[in-house]
């Protein structure tokens, strides 16, 4: 293998992005919506129906409601269109590695992009309507554009500000990124001072030169920084301002102060209220173990090579700031997220791995360097070992990505699957419910049981005061996108003239089954391995529909 042909990463990463997009779009709608996907998706439908939106921390930032609202308006609501924007951003993420090309060698840029493309965690959550992949991608882009502003042209500070603003429109833990960056910068400064001391130089002189070399350039471009902050503020307010209040205020400037207050002070108050009520204590050791299981099961190659790249750069390499910075950012985030998160899930790893992709790219390049050196020295065994480790590691990542995203995407055995993901093959019966709702006058679906009951199903309410709605997730997303008419009851007598579809918990199966003779029924897990839901469907009314195959 002539590894020296790995030059000019742009065309290679463009091909990687194209293949990554195809992989992310393949069977994008097959998986049943996670309960978080169903919750956010149904809220977006509510926004589209009413035209009213205001920030609610329970569904995180406004990016997906606004952007997916546009997507649904043009392409219609479905699992595919709900996940489409995240899939596209995930496919384009490898191209962000090109922003680091002034600080990394070409093959390091290439491998960084490859890890951002094929790592199982990135692939799985690129096929998931969540904000975490979006936040990680925008934050990495903000860092990349910031480095370009330092290395090339100060005007890169504008896309850096835009990317950071978009990151802040996705999810509340965007606040943690600047904290991690400041900590990583402090470690980089400390490393510079340590290296100067090792070289018998004056660390104080090094610190003074570093301060002067930072402050003077910043003073010269202060007007660009102010303008970039203004751009950040405009994007932030445009997303977070309540709708349609913002549009009204644009025509009536007298209302702008109230809208601006709601988009800033109001957002901060909502965030504080949510965090104070939603956090709970947990075992640091237990959560660290869960995160370790996710990193081993979903990012083994990337994590190992990130350690290799970090150690080599620190002790045998040039001690480049970009490697030290991203390594400190990523490894410190392991302990930071374990300490503060209230729910340890696979998506947490995204915020760690997006930083570690850079030292992992450096580590992969080191393996290739060792292969080249061994081959030139006619050490065929060492050359073969180095290339086998590299190819094997990349193959392992690709294989695990295929396994976790396509084969076991709803399986309890998949370390990336979170508990609120329904398991089982529920999609065929959901497709039939869509067809039935198009043909039925009156009520299409009835939920039976106190957990699902709402006193007035025709009044669509969203939030903690919405009886039955949370318990039904993710099904409201499907039924509302179908335009199905839904009711609920707690008495079997109401099922005497039942609609074509009835849904209940498995604990009610006997009494509901007795009330619905002739109905086909099947059981599916509402959570990953718990809360079985029983669907009853009267297929006798629709001779052209064939009941799905089921073991239940």
Distances (CA, A) of 315 to 27, 158, 206, 238: 45, 36, 20, 47
Residues 268 and 251: their CA atoms lie apart, in Å, by 26
pLDDT at 475: 95
CB 121 within 8 A of CB 136: no
Helix (H/G/I), strand (E/B), else coil: 498: coil
Residues 359 and 306: their CA atoms lie apart, in Å, by 5
Q: Is 70 left (phi over 0), alpha (psi -120 to 50) or beta?
A: alpha
- Residue 417 covered by a domain: no
Helix (H/G/I), strand (E/B), else coil: 420: coil
Is the pLDDT at 409 greater than 90, yes or no? yes
pLDDT at 291: 93
- Summarised one tens digit per residue, pLDDT across range 161-180 is 999 999 999 999 999 999 99
**CA distance between the termini of the chain:** 54
- Summarised one tens digit per residue, pLDDT across range 276-305 is 665 567 888 999 999 999 999 999 999 999
- Summarised one tens digit per residue, pLDDT across range 533-549 is 999 999 999 999 999 98
Q: Are residues 483 and 521 in the same domain?
A: yes
- Residue 348 covered by a domain: yes
- Summarised one tens digit per residue, pLDDT across range 488-522 is 999 999 898 889 999 999 999 999 999 999 999 99
pLDDT at 175: 93
pLDDT at 394: 95
Q: Are residues 13 and 99 in the same domain?
A: yes
Q: Are residues 287 and 431 in the same domain?
A: no
Q: Are residues 232 and 333 in the same domain?
A: yes
Residues 462 and 454: their CA atoms lie apart, in Å, by 12
Is the pLDDT at 552 greater than 60, yes or no? no
The closest of 56, 473, 464, 467 to 274, measured between CA atoms, is: 56
Q: Are residues 351 and 487 in the same domain?
A: no
Is the pLDDT at 94 greater than 80, yes or no? yes
- Residue 551 covered by a domain: no
pLDDT at 213: 66
Instruction: Tell me the mean pLDDT in the region 17-32.
Output: 96
Q: Are residues 389 and 445 in the same domain?
A: no
Looking at the chain, the whole-number percentage of residues with pLDDT higher than 70 is 93
pLDDT at 463: 53
Number of domains present in the structure of the chain: 2
Is the pLDDT at 3 greater than 60, yes or no? no
Is the pLDDT at 1 greater than 50, yes or no? no
pLDDT at 7: 62
pLDDT at 209: 67
- Summarised one tens digit per residue, pLDDT across range 323-347 is 999 999 999 999 999 988 888 999 9
- Residue 203 covered by a domain: yes
Residues 135 and 387: their CA atoms lie apart, in Å, by 34
Is the pLDDT at 4 greater than 60, yes or no? no
Q: Is 336 left (phi over 0), alpha (psi -120 to 50) or beta?
A: alpha
Average pLDDT, the chain: 91
- Summarised one tens digit per residue, pLDDT across range 176-233 is 999 999 999 988 888 777 777 667 667 777 777 677 667 777 777 889 999 999 999 9
- Residue 420 covered by a domain: no
Sign of CA pseudo-dihedral 163, 80, 97, 181: positive
Q: Are residues 442 and 393 in the same domain?
A: no
Interior CA angle at 290 toward 284 and 292, to 5°?
100
pLDDT at 458: 60
Instruction: Out of 375, 407, 439, pick the residue that ends a domain.
Output: 407
Is the pLDDT at 446 greater than 50, yes or no? yes
Poorest-confidence range of 361-365, 388-392, 453-457, 505-509?
Answer: 453-457
Interior CA angle at 278 toward 454 and 412, to 5°?
75
**Confidence band for 271, pLDDT divided at 50, 70 and 90:** confident
Looking at the chain, the whole-number percentage of residues with pLDDT higher than 90 is 74
Distances (CA, A) of 94 to 73, 101, 181, 333: 29, 13, 21, 21
Q: How far is CA 297 from the centre of its chain?
A: 18
pLDDT at 393: 95
Is the pLDDT at 450 greater than 80, yes or no? yes
CATH number, residue 534: 3.40.190
Backbone angles phi, psi at 182, to 5 degrees: -65, -40
279 half-sphere exposure, CB direction, 13 A CA radius: 12
**Confidence band for 28, pLDDT divided at 50, 70 and 90:** very high
- Residue 180 covered by a domain: yes
Q: Are residues 447 and 386 in the same domain?
A: no
Q: Are residues 379 and 445 in the same domain?
A: no
**Domain with 129 in it:** 3-407
pLDDT at 218: 75
pLDDT at 215: 72
- Residue 265 covered by a domain: yes
Q: Are residues 50 and 179 in the same domain?
A: yes
- Residue 547 covered by a domain: no
Q: Are residues 517 and 391 in the same domain?
A: no
The closest of 462, 549, 444, 354 to 42, measured between CA atoms, is: 462
- Summarised one tens digit per residue, pLDDT across range 474-483 is 999 999 999 9
β-strands 501-505, 486-489: how paired?
Answer: unpaired
> pTM of the predicted model, to two decimals?
0.93
Instruction: Out of 378, 407, 436, pick the residue that ends a domain.
Output: 407
Quick one: the chain helix, strand, coil %, rounded to 5?
70, 5, 25
Q: Are residues 379 and 470 in the same domain?
A: no
- Summarised one tens digit per residue, pLDDT across range 135-148 is 999 999 999 999 99
- Summarised one tens digit per residue, pLDDT across range 44-67 is 999 999 899 999 888 899 999 999
- Summarised one tens digit per residue, pLDDT across range 99-131 is 999 999 999 999 999 999 999 999 999 999 999
Helix (H/G/I), strand (E/B), else coil: 542: coil
């Amino acid at each position: 293998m002539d590894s020296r042909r790995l030059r000019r990463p742009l065309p290679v990463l463009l091909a990687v992005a194209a293949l990554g997009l195809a992989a992310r779009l393949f069977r994008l709608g097959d998986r049943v919506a996670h309960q978080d996907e169903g919750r956010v998706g149904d809220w977006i439908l509510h926004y589209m129906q009413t035209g009213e939106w205001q920030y609610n921390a329970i569904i995180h930032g406004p990016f997906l409601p606004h952007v997916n609202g546009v997507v649904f308006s043009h392409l219609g609501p479905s699992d595919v269109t709900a996940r489409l924007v995240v899939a596209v951003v995930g496919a384009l993420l490898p191209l962000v590695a090109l922003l680091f090309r002034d600080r990394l060698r070409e093959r390091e840029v290439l491998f960084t992009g490859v890890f951002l493309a094929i790592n199982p965690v990135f692939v799985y959550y690129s096929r998931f309507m969540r904000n975490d992949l979006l936040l990680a991608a925008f934050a990495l882009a903000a860092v990349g554009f910031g480095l370009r502003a330092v290395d090339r042209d100060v005007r890169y500070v504008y896309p850096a500000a835009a990317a950071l603003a978009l990151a802040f429109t996705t999810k509340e833990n965007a606040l943690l990124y600047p904290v991690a960056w400041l900590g990583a910068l402090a470690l980089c400064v400390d490393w510079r001072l340590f290296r100067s001391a090792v070289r018998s130089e004056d660390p104080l002189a090094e610190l003074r030169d570093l301060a002067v070399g930072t402050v003077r350039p910043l003073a010269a471009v202060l007007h660009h920084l102010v303008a970039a902050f203004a751009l950040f503020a405009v994007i932030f307010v445009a997303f977070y301002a309540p709708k349609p209040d913002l549009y009204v205020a644009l025509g009536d400037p007298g209302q702008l102060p109230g809208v601006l207050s709601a988009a800033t002070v109001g957002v901060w108050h909502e965030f504080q209220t949510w965090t104070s009520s939603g956090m709970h204590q947990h075992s640091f050791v237990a959560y660290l173990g869960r995160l370790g299981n996710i990193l081993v099961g979903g990012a083994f190659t990337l994590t190992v090579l990130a350690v290799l790249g970090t150690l080599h750069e620190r002790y045998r390499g040039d001690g480049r700031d970009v490697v030290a910075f991203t390594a400190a950012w990523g490894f410190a985030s392991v302990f930071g997220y374990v300490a503060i998160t209230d729910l340890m899930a696979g998506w947490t790893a995204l915020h760690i791995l997006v930083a570690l992709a850079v030292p992992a790219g450096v580590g992969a390049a080191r393996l290739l360097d060792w292969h080249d050196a061994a081959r030139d020295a006619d050490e065929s065994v060492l050359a073969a070992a180095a290339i086998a480790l590299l190819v094997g590691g990349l193959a392992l990542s690709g294989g695990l990505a295929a396994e976790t995203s396509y084969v076991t995407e709803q399986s309890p055995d998949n370390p990336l699957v979170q508990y609120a993901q329904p398991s089982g093959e529920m999609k065929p019966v959901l497709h039939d419910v869509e067809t039935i709702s198009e043909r039925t006058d009156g009520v299409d679906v009835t939920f039976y049981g106190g957990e699902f009951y709402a006193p007035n199903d025709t009044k669509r309410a969203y939030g903690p005061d919405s009886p039955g709605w949370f318990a039904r997730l993710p099904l409201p997303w499907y039924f509302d996108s179908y335009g199905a008419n839904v009711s609920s009851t707690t008495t079997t007598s109401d099922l005497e003239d039942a609609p074509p579809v009835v849904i209940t918990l498995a604990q009610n199966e006997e009494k509901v089954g007795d009330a619905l003779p002739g109905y086909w029924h099947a059981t599916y897990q509402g959570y990953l391995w718990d809360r079985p839901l029983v669907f009853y469907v009267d297929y006798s009314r629709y001779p052209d529909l064939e009941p799905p195959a089921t073991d239940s």
